[in-house]
Amino acid sequence: MDIDFSLVLVSLVAFCGALWILDNVLIKKTRLAAIEDFMRTKGKGRSEEEVTAAITELSQEPLVIEYAKSFFPVLVIVLILRSFLIEPFQIPTGSMIPTLEVGDFILVNKYAYGVRLPVIGTKIIDVANPDRGEVMVFIPPHENKYYIKRVIGLPGDTVRYEDKDLYINGELISKEYVEPISVDTSIGDLPGVLYSETINGVEHATQHIDAVGRRRARTTWVIPNGHYFMMGDNRDNSSDSREWGPVPQKDIVGKAIAVWLHKEPGLSLPTFARNQRIN
What positions carry a catalytic annotation?
A: 95, 149
Beta strands 276-277; 115-116: pairing state = unpaired
Beta strands 227-231; 220-222: pairing state = unpaired
Q: What secondary structure does DSSP assign to 188-224, as a single string?
A: EEEEEEEEEEEETTEEEEEEEESS-----S--EEEPP
Cβ-based neighbour number of residue 120 at 10 Å: 10
Strand partners, 231: 150
Judge whether 248 and 229 are in contact, CB under 8 Å. Answer: no
* Alpha-carbon gap, residue 204 to 191, rounded angstroms: 20
DSSP state, residue 234:
B
